[in-house]
Every structure is written in C-alpha cells, then in structure tokens.
Structure 1
Amino acid sequence: MRIGQLSVYFGLFDDAMPPGFRTTRQEYAAAVGAMLADYGEVVDPGLVDSMDRAVEAAEVFAREEVDVVVFAPTMAAPPAWPEQALSGVDVPVVVLGAQESGVVPDNYDTEMATARSLPVGLVMFTNVLVRNGRPFTSAVGELGSPELAAALAQAMRAAAAVTAIRRRPLALVGQPMDGYSDVLATDDELALLGVRVEDITAPELSEAFAAVTSAQVQREAEEVGRTADAAAVPDDVLERSCRLSVALEGLCDARQLGGGAVNCHGPTLRWNPEVGITACLGVSRLSERGIPFSCTGDVPTAIALILGKAVAGSALYCELYQLDLPGNWILVANGGEGDFSGRAPGSTVRLLPEDHYRGENGPGVAVAFELPLGPATLVSLTPALGATGGWILVVAEGEVVGSRHHRMEGPNAMFRFSSAPVAKAYQRWCQAGATHHAVLLPGARHGDLGAAADLLGIQLASV
C-alpha cells in the first residue's frame, strides 16, 4: 500500500517561538513517517506550510498514485492547505492525532500551547472534511503508545480494505438469480462505493474453459491434492472442476480482477453445455488467493467478502440456516465453497461430488472443512434507500461454539451472538437490513468494519 503523508506547519508563530521550532516539527513528522512505514511505502511531499506547497503535495500524491492519505498535522494550520493537497486524489483519508505527550502539565503556557496545538489543527481539518462530505476515519492518542498503535493499525486495515474493493474491478460471471431482489445492486449504487463490475458472459467462460490444457488441469489437481482429501471424488469429476478453476483464475488474472460473483444456477455454468458444473472448487481456490467470490450473482456480498478478507485474513460466504433456541446459536453454512485459509488449524479440507447441484455435465466439486472455534463476526452489506451513503454494513460480533454438521457437505459453524439471545439477535439482524447471504470472519471485527464504513461514508448497523 502506498501511503501519502500529509503533515502541515504554520509559520505564523515563528517569531514568537524558540529558534529551531520548525526543526522540531520536521522531526515529529519524520517520527510519524517511520510509524506509517509499518503499513507500506510512505510518500512524503514534505511539510505543507503554504498554499503553493499544498498544490505541490497534490501533484505528488496524484503522480505517485497513493492508495491512502494520512493527515498528521504537526500543529494547527489553515485547513485550506490540506484541503488543496487532497484535491487531486480520490482515496481513503485517515486522520492521525499523535500527541507527543498525553499529559497537560501544570506549567502549561502559551508557547507550549503553540507547540502542542496538534488537536486544534486536527479538528480544523476534520470540520472541512465533514463540510465537503469527504469520508474519513481517525486515530488519536499518544505517539509511541500501544493504544495509538492499535488505533492506527485498525484505521490502516480499514483503508486497505476500502482500497481492495476499488483498486480492481469485480467480475459478474452470469447474471443474478431471477427473483433474488435482495442481492441486486445497480451501477449507480455500486458507484457510491467506488466499485466497478465487469460481466463475463457464457461464451467468454466457455472459451476460457476450452483453452485450458491437460497439463494445466493435471497441475491444478496436484496442487489441490496437496491441500485437500479428494478420495471421495471420481477422477473425471475432479478434472472438470480443476479445468474450471484454471479458467476462472486465468480470466481474473487477464482482467486484473479483485473478486466478484458467480451464478452457478443458470446458463453460464450449470446449464452451459460446454461447462455444465458448479464453480465451488474454483471460487474456493480464488478466495484463498485473495480474490473472493460470492454465488448467485450477489455482488454486494462479494464486496463484503473482499472487505472481510482484507481485515481478517479469511472470509466465508455463507447463509444463516436455522436457530437452535435451546443451545442459543444459529447454524451458519453454505453449499460447498470456502476460503481454505479459514479452516480450523489441523483440520482437513474434504472434497465431495456436488450431487445436490448437478449440471448438464454432472456434479462439480464441493469443499467442506471445519471452522475454528472462538471469536467471530458476521457481516452483510446492502444498498438501502435513505441510508447514509446509500448503503448499510450490518455487523454482529459473537463466537463460533462448534463446527460439526458434516452432512451439510460444506463449511459450517454454530454461531452465538454476543449481543443478545439468538432469537432476539436474529430479529435485530433482519431489522438492520441484512441480506440472506452473509460473511463469517474470524475474530472480533466490529472496530475494523466500523472504520471501513467511516471511510466509505456509509451506515453501520451493529447487531
């Protein structure tokens, strides 16, 4: 990630401050830059201390194609300068208030107030961001403290997640399921998030499928075999799914795609005489590579998968099947796809013929594995009329208390909400506007996703 550092300085007080004051602010900016370097390559145009320097900074950020800009003032300064510096880039903005001291001493005087005027400079600029409708997230604390480090890490994870959904287009392989109005999103709605979608048609997929060589199929089968137990899958079934996996990977690489959505249940995949199977193995392999895919043409959930993968390291496309009221949990599962990197440590990925969703050429290959116990987060994303930014990100923290329903023939988990008993929590989940598809993430991710919602300028619904 390329990080633009935007640090401002105001020379109005130079005559009133001790010699070398500007040098101390430069040293402070350097310390901030060293902290930011933990998250990527820092692009620093130098202290912005005038409108001319702000124009130069804008040119540098645009030329270097930064992925995020971190506003880290060294002191109070006119907010029109950083406003100008951001004018040439449409990227996430993180506001960093890294105080050099967390204590206000009893001998605090006017000179010290000028030297430590960072909070004033911070709120001067955040006001302008709000006035202009430019989303941002923030991290505030004492420079060098673990608390500030944690807040900054959260903000940078969120920035990386937002960058992930915008940097590359998403693919739609087949149109959404007919009648599934809860998974739809218009181009105008997607544009609110900065997301672009490209169609991959049935003829394009068929051509890519036919172009895969026997050697590529064999290599894919060997790689899959090193990760998963394929004993239950006939060789011809595995080979056909491996061919589709290679075809999808090739299309993603050729088009530089960041993820997307397939619809197996239509003429592009299951009812395509050239392909004729589901894509579960292929999308599972792509998800492990960091190119997540949802099913049924559900682009909003594909976006949620990409966000989740970026902040948590793995993300499972799923549905919430049934409440277990005595046990106080809900069954989370899917039809046979999953990010291998999200499986329980030491567990085996099982490959199974997907007889439940046979196509014109028989079954595809489903994947099944156990999920790790412990803290977890459910996520859903939907466009919504009247919502802030036109979208709602629904987030529910809880824990996975079991993963034992092997006859589901797919990844599954017993999820317990932390906020309320399962019936009440699921009622809130529905009330918040969640779709019938969700994303399951390892760990407690409400803070990360809340920061991502801030950067996207959309509504966060906490369940």
Structure 2
Amino acid sequence: MSPRSPRIAAIGGFMQYFEPIMGPDSRRDRTAHLDHTIAGLNAEAEIHNLGLLVDETDEARLVEAVRQLAPDVLLIVPTMATPPGPMLRVIGAAPDAPVIIACSHGLESISAEYAMAELCRHSANVGASMVESLMRRRGREPVTLVGFLSDDEFHARLLMAVRAAATARRLKGLRIARLGLPMSGYDHVGLDAQEAEASDMTLVDIPLEDWAERVAGVTAQQIDQLFERLPTIMPQGTEWQRTPDHDRAAGLAIALQKLSDEQNVDCGSLTCRGPFGVGLGQGAIGCLATTMMTSAGTPFSATGDLVTAVAMFIGRSLGGATLYCELDAIDRQRDAF
C-alpha cells in the first residue's frame, strides 16, 4: 500500500494566570511561537495545529479534537509555564500515541530590559519540566527535545523525533505479508504468527494457490505498460535488453503490487526460490518485484526474511534508503562491500 504521512496533533501550552503580566498580545505571541516550532514538519507529516490550551473551554475542545483525530503522534509545545493537569487530560484522549515535548526557545540573550513579562513569555523550560514530570509520575514517558528556534539542527532533531515516534506507532498493528516460508535451515529470519502477535503485528499469510492465480492473471498489456514506466524509476543510464525472463519477473512485480494494495500490507517477503517464484508456471526470481515494492514505499525482502522486512520498514520510515541485498565480501582498499 502507499504509505501515508504520519498524523501529528500539535498543542501549545499556556498559563492564563500570567497573562495580565505578559500583556494583551501574549496569546498571539505564544501562538506564533507554536507555529514557528512546528513549521519545519509540514513537508513530511500531516500536521494538525490545534492551538493553545488556555482554559477549561480549550481543554474540552482539545480533548474532543484529539479523540476524533486519533493522531499517530502528540507534539506538545510548552510555549511558557504550562499547568500539567489539563494538558495530561488532553494527552489522555490519545492513550496509544507517542508523546514528544518540544521545548523550543526564542530568546537567546538576556538584556537589561529583561523583566517579569519576558520571564513569563520565555519560560518554556518550566512548562516542559512540569508536563514531563507529571507524565512520568502517571507512567507515560515522553521524549523531550530542547533547542533554539533559530537553529536548523534543533528542527532537524525534532523532525527525526517525529519520524521515530510515528514509526513506533505504526509498528503496532503492522501488517506483514509472507509469500512462502524461509528456505530450509534459515531459522534466523522467519517469523510465525505467535511471534508477530507478541509484537502487536499481524502476519498475513498468502496461500500459494492465491498467489499462483494472481501471477497467471497478469496480462501482456500490463507487462508492456510496466516496461514503458520502468525507465522513469530506474537510475539514469541503466541499460537492459528485454527478454522473456524480464517479462516473467515483471509479472511477479505487477501481481505483488496488486496483492499488497488489496491486503493493505506494510511490508513483507517473497520467497522466490521455490513454489512462490521460480516454481510457478510463469515464475521468475523476485528481485524486480521486491525492489519495485521497496522503492514505492512498501519494503519487501526475499527468502522469507520477515525480520529484515520489518527492519527495512523502519529504515524507510525514518527517511533512509533501503535495499535487500546480501553483503558478501569486503573490499578493504576501497572501504566498501
């Protein structure tokens, strides 16, 4: 299936008690702080900026919004000192979502004009400590990041934290397709239904009869269309001479894509050296199929290696490049495999 962007609910902490000290523009100013903190996440996540938690009306609004949204990740931005009780009640509306606390600082130097108004506005450290302390006392551990809004490095760390949290959330309920058991003796790579369930994952076992029917149903027109599209996704300069072997490999790729979409799987493995691959009537090695699936965002391994398939899913979700390939020999001179 096509991976969707993680759904992030961002909420800003605020303390109404200090509003008379901070001045009439304090909500606007602290909202701008929240906006600045999360601005760099829009390109890679579905951000829902739910605004500031100021009073009981906001608490009720935010509890309902979080419950309806069912976010993958909760991003809490204490824009100043933040009473943790109301914030934890909002956080409780998404009991399974990982929580990130972004303790972001806009003030970088303290001048002679620094007074109580500035102290209140720039008390994110206090707010982050308050929220994290109560969360840990209640048995829910957040990830807290501290940095300056002017630093690109802080925004990069926040982005990676969101990726990691969203990936961790997606592992719960991960759907893993298995097309064939590992080769005999490959006991280190297999995964059975009980092991998957122990990690809150679902093993989707594909019967050979179903797979064989899907591969046999691929048409010559579909294969031609794949080869028309192939140059647009291959590295520039790649050359090949189309052969019947390529056509059979393309048939596996087309069938695997359709199966993955219909079964709504996140990753998987195709054991092509056996009845699910070369043993089929129009069978082939599965490297083209698994590589195309991986490049499209649904990582597939070979040889029934579901452990590595999950690792590939994690790597891909964190923004890395993934390729299933054995690294056999080491070239010491070039420091390469």
Range of TM-score over shorter length: 0.7 to 0.9
Once residues 275 and 115 of structure 1 are traced to their aligned partners in structure 2, the CA distance between those partners, rounded to angstroms, is 68
Name the CA shift for 1:264/1:35 in 2 (closer, same or farther; >3 Å): closer
Larger mean CA deviation between 168-177 and 178-187 belongs to: 178-187
Work out which of the residue numbers 230, 240, 244 in structure 1 matches 2:240.
230
- Taking only the aligned residue pairs, the percentage that are identical comes to 28
SS of residue matched to 2:318 = helix
Mapping for residues 149-298 of structure 1, pairs under 5 Å = 149-159=155-165, 161-162=167-168, 165=171, 169-185=175-191, 187=193, 190=196, 194-224=200-230, 227=234, 228-231=238-241, 235-271=243-279, 273-298=280-305
SS in 1 for 2:177: strand
Secondary structure at the aligned position of 2:50 is classed as coil
**Equivalent position to 2:50, from 37, 45, 48:** 45
Higher relative contact order, chain-length normalized (CA < 8 Å, sep 6+):
2
Return the letter of the residue paired with 2:48. Answer: V
After superposition, give the CA deviation of every residue in 1:332-375 in whole Å (9 maximum; x if it has no partner): xxxxxxxxxxxxxxxxxxxxxxxxxxxxxxxxxxxxxxxxxxxx
**C-alpha separation between the residues in 1 aligned to 2:208 and 2:192?**
21
Q: State the 1:249 CA deviation.
A: 0.9
2:111 counterpart of 1:123: no
Structural mapping, 1:426-437, within 5 Å: none
Relative to 1, partners in 2 of residues 1:185 and 1:239: Cα closer, same or farther, differing over 3 Å?
closer
Amino acid at match of 2:256: L
Asked if structure 1 preserves the Cα contact closer than 8 Å seen for 2:13 and 2:52, the reply is yes
How many pairs does the alignment contain?
Answer: 327
CA drift of 1:118 comes to: 0.8
How far, CA to CA, are the matches of 2:119 and 2:142 in structure 1?
26
Q: Please list every run of 5 or more consecutive structure 2 residues that lacks an aligned counterpart in the other structure.
A: none
**Range that drifts further, 33-42 or 93-102:** 33-42
The whole-number CA distance in structure 1 between the counterparts of 2:254 and 2:290 is: 10
Aligned to 2:15: 10
Q: C-alpha deviations, 1:118-146, integer Å up to 9, x for none?
A: 11211222334444554544432112322
Amino acid at match of 1:300: V
| Partner SS state of residue 101, structure 2 | strand
Answer whether contact 2:81 2:128 (CA < 8 A) is retained: yes
Say which of 12, 32, 37 aligns to 1:32. Answer: 37
Q: Which residue in the other structure is 2:315 paired with?
A: 308
| Secondary structure, counterpart of 2:51 in structure 1 | coil
Q: Give the drift of 1:16.
A: 4.7
1:308 & 1:74 partners in 2: Cα distance? 32
Tell me by how many angstroms 1:101 deviates.
1.0
Q: Which residue of 2 aligns with 1:319?
A: 326
The TM-score normalised by the length of structure 1 is: 0.62
Which SS does the other structure have where 1:101 is aligned?
coil
Equivalent in the alignment of 1:78: 83
Aligned partner of residue 146 in structure 2, secondary structure: strand
For 2:231 and 2:113, how far apart are their aligned partners in 1?
69
Classify 1:54/1:39 alpha carbon distance in 2 versus 1 (closer, same or farther; 3 Å).
farther
Provide, for residues 189-213 of structure 1, a one-character-per-residue CA deviation record: whole Å limited to 9, x for no partner.
5457654331212111112112211
Secondary structure at the aligned position of 2:321 is classed as coil
The alignment partner of 1:14 has SS state of helix
Cα deviation for residue 183 of structure 1 reads: 2.0
- The residue type paired with residue 49 of structure 1 is V
Across the aligned residues of Structure 1 and Structure 2, the Cα RMSD in angstroms comes to 3.1
Gaps in structure 1 of 5+ consecutive residues: 329-400, 403-413, 416-463
Stretches of 4+ aligned residues off by more than 6 angstroms? none
Report the TM-score, using the length of structure 2 for normalisation.
0.82
Q: Is the 8 A contact 1:55 1:84 kept in 2?
A: no
One-letter amino acid matched to 1:311: L
